Chain A
Amino acid sequence: DAKTTQPPSMDCAEGRAANLPCNHSTISGNEYVYWYRQIHSQGPQYIIHGLKNNETNEMASLIITEDRKSSTLILPHATLRDTAVYYCIVIDGGSQGNLIFGKGTKLSVKP
């Protein structure tokens, strides 16, 4: 079973920041938080990952709470092309763990 809990759907206005929450209250010390997204029926696409510190790349920012029990993916300026299902996944960084997908959050970016 997936170790994460995400809202099933969210809406965001184009140009605004999209903040996608994820709860992972049972995360262990060596588990990373990964975010992937799936646009329509394409293969999932890697977005970002982190362990303890906040992370930022060209696609998004990842904010992890100090107790690591939850995190937020931030798309700073959402576009219509960001409409997708977003998956939050925890995986053991010490071994080559298998991604276990939940149902994710369906983000709809509206004009």
Chain B
Amino acid sequence: NAGVTQTPKFRVLKTGQSMTLLCAQDMNHEYMYWYRQDPGMGLRLIHYSVGEGTTAKGEVPDGYNVSRLKKQNFLLGLESAAPSQTSVYFCASSYQGGYTFGSGTRLTVV
């Protein structure tokens, strides 16, 4: 099993550009999450989903949108990237409290 796969692993955007980060899990988990991690900080929750077709805001949702059209995929969109969104983004899925994280996407906005 691949677990949780994030694409891309690295990306550089110009301010104002848009992009979508893809998260895919093959464990049939209902719950999926997007976190961001800034240098020296813990992870902060952006958005999450409790099942296909549902999404909810986390701690830092501004500037991001998400979609969960299929159970195995959770997409994170940046409509107009800003330098403050430079960060490492982690996706996770969970079942009964046990979380599995992806390896992260390092995004730089210049």
> Which residues of A approach B to under 8 Å, CB–CB?
2, 32, 34, 36, 41-46, 49, 87, 91, 93, 96-104
Interface size on B, residues (CB 8 A): 28
Chosen A-B contacts, 9 in total, with CB atoms closer than 8 Å, are: A43-B92, A44-B90, A44-B92, A44-B101, A87-B42, A97-B97, A98-B58, A99-B99, A102-B42
| Shortest beta-carbon contacts, A-B, top 7 | A43-B101, A101-B42, A101-B43, A44-B101, A43-B90, A96-B31, A43-B103
- Is B100's CB within 8 Å of the partner chain A? yes
- SS class, residues of chain A in contact with chain B: loop
- Distance in Å from the Cβ of B102 to the closest Cβ of chain A? 5
Contacts of A49 in B (CB 8 A): 97-98
> Which residues of B approach A to under 8 Å, CB–CB?
4, 30-31, 33, 35, 40-45, 48, 50, 58-59, 88, 90, 92, 94, 97-104, 106
- Distance in Å from the Cβ of A93 to the closest Cβ of chain B? 6
Partner of B33 from the list A34, A36, A91, A98 (CB cut-off 8 Å) is: A98
Q: Is the CB of B97 within 8 A of A45?
A: no
A43→B103 CA distance, assembly (Å):
5
Known: A98-B48, A98-B58. A34 touches B43 (CB 8 A): no
